[in-house]
Amino acid sequence: MERDPYSQLTREVLSKRGNAAGRRILIDKISRFVYSYPKKHLHWDDDDTGDFFCVFYPKIEGLIDRFTFQGKPFEAYLVSSIRWQMKTFAKKRVMQHSEHRAIKDESDFWQKCGAPENTNPDGGVYYSPDDQTPEVYSAEVSRVLKIESRGKISDPAWARRLLYLMLRSVTFVDDSLMEHTARLCGFDPGYILGCATELRQRLDEKRERQRVQIERRNSLHVRILQLTALMSDETDADRLEHYRKRLTAAKARIDKTNRDLRSMPVLPTHKDIAEVLETAKGSVDSGLYYLMKAFKNIGLN
């Protein structure tokens, strides 16, 4: 007996996609397949699986409409599309994770700079402002930053570099550490705290813009789902064309919104730091580059 080249789903796609009720059944069945695929085959967690499904769902109807049987079942066409979209989704997710790692790395930096509790006091330099409990830096950090025995950075260039890093880390550096670092670098603590306050205000404004963009993107996702549902029930050619145009416009706006969100900084930019300090952006660029390069050589970055 000759083998039947058609799978059950392939037959359903070819026979049911022409009517609204059959199309809804197909979308429901394919949706369940799409949702379970990343978790079942690549062990994605619930968050990534759900986010990917929201991205892929609007594409299902297009896959149904474009499918033509050429010897392979619909499942092969669907899996190929899913895996292609998963690659794109994974690349975007890597970019997001790298931003979060950048925040964590700079947050951890300040903890790494201090010497461990069991460090030999002779191995570091103490700093005791106003006769408070002295603090100690590891010998490597003291050497790189050129911290002298009185607890001050002797080289003005290295003092500015550490100041740039402190202000870039303003999200997770508290005021007490900021005052301490200002004194270490030879700057007026009040002035530096004022700069830090301005940078935090700028970040708050950026977070508000980010929140607005996220809400706008979510609204566009809902609109796409609504338009897709309307198109599945519509038989009038003119209204279908109207819905398609609105759908295309909504997808274009989502793409632009996602690009805007990816470009939004999660830390103060070098330009922000330069403006609050009234210095050249190039000075901040080069200062942070040389500082991070030096700390990378001793395993602190």
Give the pLDDT confidence score for residue 141 in this predicted structure: 67
Is residue 110 helix, strand or coil? helix
What integer pLDDT is reported at residue 234 of this predicted model? 79
- Output the pTM of the full model: 0.47
Q: What is the mean pLDDT of the chain?
A: 78
120 pLDDT higher than 70: no
Whole-number pLDDT of residue 200: 87
Average pLDDT for residues 173-194, to the nearest whole number?
85
CB-count exposure of residue 129 (10 Å: 0-12, 13-18, 19+): middle
**Contact of 38 with 54, CB cutoff 8 Å:** no
CB atoms within 10 A of CB 207: 12
What is the per-residue burial (b if ≥16 Cβ within 10 Å, else e) of 242-265?
ebeebbeebbebbeebeeeeeeee
Determine which of 106-110, 249-253, 258-262, 285-289 has the lowest per-residue pLDDT on average. Answer: 106-110
Query: pLDDT band at 275, cuts 50/70/90?
Result: very high
Phi, psi of 89 (to 5 degrees): -60, -45
Contact by Cβ (8 Å): 10, 73:
yes
| Average pLDDT, integer, range 63-76 | 88
Question: What does the pLDDT look like over 136-145, one tens digit per residue?
Answer: 456 666 777 7
What region does 152 belong to: left with phi over 0, alpha with psi -120 to 50, or beta? beta
Can you give the pLDDT at residue 110? 47
- Average pLDDT value for residue range 238-257: 88
